[in-house]
Amino acid sequence: MNKVVVISGATSGLGLALKKIFLDNGDYVYGLSRSVNDDKDIPCDVTSKEDIDLAVSRIAEKHSKIDILINNAGIGISGATEYIPMENIRKAFDISYFGSLELTRACLPFMDKGSRIIFMSSISGLTAIPFRSVYCSVKSAQLMLGESLRMELSQTGIDVVTLCPGEIKTNFSANKLADTKTSERYGQRVEKALDYVAKREEKRMKIEKVINKIYKICVKGKRAMYIIGGKYKFLYFAKRVLPTTQYLKLTDNMLGGKK
């Protein structure tokens, strides 16, 4: 039976790749984004409750139900916590956390037994990274939202699954809010830390290698949380077995840059 699928942030990257697979399988797919690629997209800024309510009502009028919601809209943000502009911090939370919260609340009245809610968090929601404190916080909050909601809906037949992908080669990093402001306190560490991430671009997982796995999890994954990428599973394992102080020191030495 054809499913009614709603995907936020579906005009590029993971969202667009997932949208194409669902469409190829004959499902009714609605991408919610500020800009639209085709008639399968609905203009919607997820930071606007009015936009969300209007988009969801349009879908509900046509189908009266929503089978799968994929909260994928998000934005990267990096820099020294002390200097990142507060408007950028609020923007990151508004898009990734509050956007997924508002969209989920709007869709839930049209979801029933067999429906699924997917939160696209990140490995950064599971482990702290220097100069990416805000992004880690946003993704951690999204992870906790998904896990808490899973318990709340445990007796309704609505599944809630959170994905924590590692670095995937998309245009996500190019569009992030990167702030390189520094001071004597940090020296060149901020810029060097960002350069280290940029130099790893070619080492990121190719979207073609992981998208089918992500699609299958979205459709029938039963676990509460999935990490995408073998080395990121090892990273999470190391975090759980090492003393926190030691783990943070190792991560800082690798990713924190040098003065």
pLDDT for 176 equals: 76
Which structural domain range is residue 91 located in? 4-255
For residue 186, what pLDDT is reported? 86
Record the tokens describing residue 191, joined without a space: 């810029």
Specify the pLDDT at position 157.
Answer: 97
CA atoms within a 13 Å half-sphere pointing along the CA-CB vector of 42: 21
Number of domains in the chain: 1
The CA-based angle 168-172-178, given to 5 degrees, is 120
> Exposure of 38 by Cβ count < 10 A (0-12 exposed, 13-18 middle, 19+ buried)?
exposed
Q: How far apart are CA 177 and CA 190, in angstroms?
A: 14
Neighbouring residues of 7: CB distance < 8 A, sequence distance ≥ 6: 15, 18, 19, 22, 29, 30, 31, 32, 70, 72
Q: What is the pLDDT of residue 255?
A: 86
In tens digits, the chain (259 residues) has pLDDT values of 799 999 999 988 999 999 999 999 999 999 999 888 777 789 999 999 999 999 999 999 999 999 999 999 999 999 999 999 999 999 999 999 999 999 999 999 999 999 999 999 999 999 999 999 999 999 999 999 999 999 999 999 999 999 999 888 776 555 678 888 888 898 899 888 888 877 776 677 888 889 999 999 999 999 999 999 888 999 899 999 999 999 999 999 988 877 6
Give me the pLDDT at residue 230, please.
86
- Rounded CA separation 105/100 (Å): 9
Whether the Cβ atoms of residue 8 and residue 32 lie closer than 8 Å to each other: yes
Residues labelled catalytic: 135
The whole model's pTM is what? 0.94
Which CATH number goes with the domain that contains 233? Answer: 3.40.50.720
The tally of CA atoms less than 13 A away on the side-chain side of residue 253 is 6
